[in-house]
């Protein structure tokens, strides 16, 4: 990011950031040295492993722990900016961890796309302290051995038991918010019996679902999550990393705190739905520390409100449905709120960082208006995107006196700056060059045979400037049998070319955008709109597909000036008066331009 106005996304330190409750917690912890005694052995591991290491050079450790079962979306972007951003700002590191403890769902395609998305957003998982570089890319499935060991330790300590009740019995005996649970008949087995049973589970002697290992806490706890939660289940499934080595797998609520502890995480930041799990998180880690498997101080969990964005769905499962049912062209369809979709649409990493910084973090659920994302995009591109002229709804303007005044077939060279403002000390980019001749494309709406009140553009007898070109005076139009205008007629006023001494001799009230017929290039322009017409497409369990906006992609043929036709794929522009556009990263080729509209110049949704 080059512009000093954008310091919030610059990452130059906490002093530039708006404070929030997480920053306050971290600053308090740093001040009190809450995590200062931790040691780090260079790789994840148990208490003994880290005890043999040096004092942890990372002041804090956070993590971003996606399950590799889909493409990341804008909600994950918030979590990425938060976790990686906090680590960067406070002299820490953020671990990139795949939470792949569930054997059924993970796929390599998703792992690759997730790594790519995090890096594209501007973050990485390497740390460098005292000249020593470490990579912090981890897979939770690498911790299965420790998780099993931890489970056995709990069994031996009388803190876990094998329950052979049916799932229905277990559910019935769990109780509810008003009724305490009932102890399982298997709850009073001895540690030796439980250990033997648990090993049988591991050794494949029991059928899937026949029994589970449960933590032994309190069946009457007011927090239902503490009523002896299941921690291991039998599931015969081939895991992408460990293959068929295991037929038992840890439950998420058991695995996650352990992953954090093995990685020396200090602040484990998650969304609010895990708030009720925090007591178990603390119980488990505390017990494993008492059993000397983990070292204190232990990681702490903090919850924040997930991102809810209007007109957008942020559930991997529902997004997959849009892809699979063909409502969009793929995960990277420019209308998708996935990071690959936003990228293809033309969103920049800086604009997404800026968005994440502006929405902040809170502990209360709320909806963020979609326009907040668009505003961040405009604020990022305003100073960076080169300008260009494009005519989206073209009609020909014929300068009937051109050959006579300028010479038959003459093309007059014109130029306009690529950027209207350049920061001090910065070299302006080369000007855009194009030509004007007898015929140019203009927007159909820039001509009115009978002008409405206050209309300043082309109507018979009125003069306007063709931006960067000449002043022209409208003389009329040609129409087809249906009365539709097929050409607008005007005369060029000689010696009024922009940038020449005569330019101001004739006063006009309007300057309109245009593209020369001789050097303009036809371009496919995809005018995207929101995918849903309802601000809360899936609220209250509604069928989100019912509010799909059927007009969310309109493809038109426009004319663009030569500089735009030569764009590199993924290059962003401001089409003067129309908004921000990007050369599509898949389909655009110089000379055969394809542009996506990212967003208009100002918020026009619903107006």
Beta strand residue intervals within 428-468, DSSP E: 432-436, 439-443, 463-466
Q: Which does 271 bind (CB under 5 to 8 A by kind): ligand ATP, Mg ion, none?
A: ligand ATP
- Tokens 């929101």, residue? 530
Provide the minimum distance between the beta carbon of 426 and ligand ATP in the complex, in angstroms, as a whole number: 36
Which parts of this chain interact with ligand ATP (CB under 6 A)?
A: 65-67, 75-76, 78-79, 270-271, 306-307, 314-316
Nearer to ligand ATP, 18 or 604 (CB): 18
In the complex, residue closest to Mg ion by CB: 67
Please pick, among 39, 67, 275, 449, the residue that the annotation labels catalytic. 67
Nearer to ligand ATP, 111 or 487 (CB): 111
CA distance 61 to 266: 5
Pair of tokens at residue 588? 């655009």
What distances in angstroms separate CA 456 from CA 167, 462, 474, 509, 525, one per listed residue?
Answer: 75, 8, 12, 6, 27
Nearer to Mg ion, 71 or 575 (CB): 71
Instruction: Tell me, rounded to whole angstroms, the distance of Cα 151 from its chain centroid.
Output: 37
Is residue 404 annotated as part of the catalytic site, yes or no? no
Nearer to Mg ion, 67 or 570 (CB): 67
CB atoms within 10 A of CB 9: 27
Q: Which does 66 bind (CB under 5 to 8 A by kind): ligand ATP, Mg ion, none?
A: ligand ATP
Backbone torsions φ then ψ of 489, nearest 5 degrees:
-110, 145
Q: In this structure, is the dihedral angle defined by the CA atoms of residues 329, 588, 433 and 466, taken in order, positive or negative?
A: negative
Q: Which does 351 bind (CB under 5 to 8 A by kind): ligand ATP, Mg ion, none?
A: none
- Tokens 């849903």, residue? 532
Provide the minimum distance between the beta carbon of 99 and ligand ATP in the complex, in angstroms, as a whole number: 6
Contact 243, 198 (CB under 8 A): no
Q: Per CB under 5 A, which of residues 52..71 are in contact with Mg ion?
A: 67
Nearer to ligand ATP, 101 or 571 (CB): 101
Q: Which does 93 bind (CB under 5 to 8 A by kind): ligand ATP, Mg ion, none?
A: none
252 marked as binding residue:
yes
Is residue 200 annotated as part of the catalytic site, yes or no? no
Contact 346, 335 (CB under 8 A): no
CA distance 460 to 485: 13
Is residue 456 annotated as part of the catalytic site, yes or no? no
Provide the minimum distance between the beta carbon of 18 and ligand ATP in the complex, in angstroms, as a whole number: 18
Q: Which does 500 bind (CB under 5 to 8 A by kind): ligand ATP, Mg ion, none?
A: none
Provide the minimum distance between the beta carbon of 149 and ligand ATP in the complex, in angstroms, as a whole number: 25
Nearest Cα to Cα of residue 95 among 69, 142, 134, 129: 134
99 marked as binding residue:
yes
Nearer to ligand ATP, 20 or 435 (CB): 20
67 marked as binding residue:
yes
Cis peptide leading into residue 465 (ω within 30°): no
Provide the minimum distance between the beta carbon of 66 and ligand ATP in the complex, in angstroms, as a whole number: 3
Backbone torsions φ then ψ of 109, nearest 5 degrees:
-55, -40
68 marked as binding residue:
yes
Please pick, among 39, 105, 187, 306, the residue that the annotation labels catalytic. 306
Supply the DSSP string of 314-378, one letter for each residue.
--HHHHHHHHHTTSSSSTT-TTS-BHHHHHHHT--HHHHHHHHHHH---SS---B-THHHHHHHH
306 marked as binding residue:
yes
348 marked as binding residue:
no
> Three-state SS across 56-87?
CCCCCEEEECCCCCCCCEHHHHHHHHHHHHHH
Q: Per CB under 5 A, which of residues 66..95 are in contact with Mg ion?
A: 67
273 marked as binding residue:
no
Q: Which does 316 bind (CB under 5 to 8 A by kind): ligand ATP, Mg ion, none?
A: ligand ATP
Please pick, among 38, 189, 287, 316, the residue that the annotation labels catalytic. 316
Binding residue positions for ATP? 67-69, 271, 306-307
Catalytic residues: 67, 306, 316
Binding residue positions for L-glutamine? 99, 252
**Which residues make up the interface to Mg ion (CB under 5 A)?**
67
């Amino acid at each position: 990011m080059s512009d000093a106005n954008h310091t919030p996304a610059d990452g130059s330190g906490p002093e530039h950031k708006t404070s929030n409750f997480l920053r306050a917690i971290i600053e308090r912890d740093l001040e009190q040295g809450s995590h200062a005694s931790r040691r780090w052995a260079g790789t994840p591991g148990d208490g003994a492993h880290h005890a043999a290491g040096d004092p942890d050079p990372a002041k804090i450790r956070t993590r971003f722990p996606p399950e590799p079962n889909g493409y990341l979306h804008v909600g994950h972007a918030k979590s990425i900016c938060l976790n990686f951003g906090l680590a960067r700002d406070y002299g820490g590191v953020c671990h990139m961890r795949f939470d792949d403890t569930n054997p059924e769902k993970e796929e390599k395609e998703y792992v690759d796309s997730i790594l790519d998305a995090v890096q594209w957003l501007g973050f990485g998982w390497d740390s460098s302290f005292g000249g020593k570089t470490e990579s912090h890319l981890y897979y939770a499935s690498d911790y299965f051995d420790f998780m099993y060991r931890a489970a056995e330790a709990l069994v031996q300590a009388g803190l876990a038991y094998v329950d052979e009740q049916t799932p229905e019995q277990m559910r019935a005996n769990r109780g509810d918010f008003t009724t305490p649970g009932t102890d399982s008949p298997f709850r009073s087995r001895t540690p030796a019996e439980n250990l033997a049973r648990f090993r049988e589970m591991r050794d494949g002697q029991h059928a899937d679902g026949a029994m589970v290992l449960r933590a032994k806490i309190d069946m009457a706890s007011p927090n239902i999550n503490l009523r002896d939660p299941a921690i291991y289940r039998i599931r015969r499934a081939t895991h992408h990393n460990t293959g068929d080595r295991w037929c038992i797998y840890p439950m998420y609520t058991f695995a996650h705190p352990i992953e954090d502890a093995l990685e020396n995480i200090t602040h484990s930041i998650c969304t609010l739905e895990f708030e009720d799990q925090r007591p178990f998180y603390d119980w488990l880690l505390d017990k494993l520390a008492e059993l000397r498997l983990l070292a204190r101080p232990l990681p702490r969990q903090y919850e924040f409100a997930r991102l809810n964005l209007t007109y957008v769905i942020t559930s991997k499962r529902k997004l997959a449905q849009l892809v699979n049912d063909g409502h969009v062209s793929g995960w990277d369809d420019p209308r998708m709120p996935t990071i690959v979709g936003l990228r293809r649409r033309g969103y920049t990493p800086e604009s997404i960082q800026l968005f994440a910084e502006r929405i902040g973090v809170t502990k209360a659920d709320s909806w963020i208006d979609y326009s907040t994302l668009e505003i961040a995009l405009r604020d990022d591109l305003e100073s960076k995107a080169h300008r260009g002229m494009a005519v989206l709804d073209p009609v020909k303007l014929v300068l009937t006196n051109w050959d006579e005044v300028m010479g038959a077939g003459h093309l007059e060279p014109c130029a306009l700056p690529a950027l209207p403002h350049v920061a001090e000390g910065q070299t302006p980019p080369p000007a855009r060059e194009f030509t004007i001749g007898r015929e140019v494309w203009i927007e159909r709406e820039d001509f009115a045979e009978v002008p409405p009140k206050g209309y300043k553009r082309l109507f018979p007898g009125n003069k306007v400037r063709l931006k960067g070109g000449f002043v022209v005076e409208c003389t009329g139009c040609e129409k087809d049998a249906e009365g539709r205008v097929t050409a607008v007629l005007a005369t060029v006023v000689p010696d009024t070319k922009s940038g020449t001494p005569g330019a101001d001799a004739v006063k006009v009230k309007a300057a309109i955008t245009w593209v020369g017929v001789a050097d303009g290039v036809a371009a496919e322009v995809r005018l995207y709109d929101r995918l849903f017409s309802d601000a809360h497409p899936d609220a209250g369990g509604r069928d989100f597909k019912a509010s799909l906006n059927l007009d969310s992609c309109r493809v038109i043929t426009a004319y663009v000036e030569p500089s735009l036709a030569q764009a590199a794929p993924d290059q962003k522009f401001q089409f003067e008066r129309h908004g921000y556009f990007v050369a599509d990263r898949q389909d655009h080729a110089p000379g055969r331009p394809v542009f996506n509209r990212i967003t208009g110049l100002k918020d026009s949704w619903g107006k």
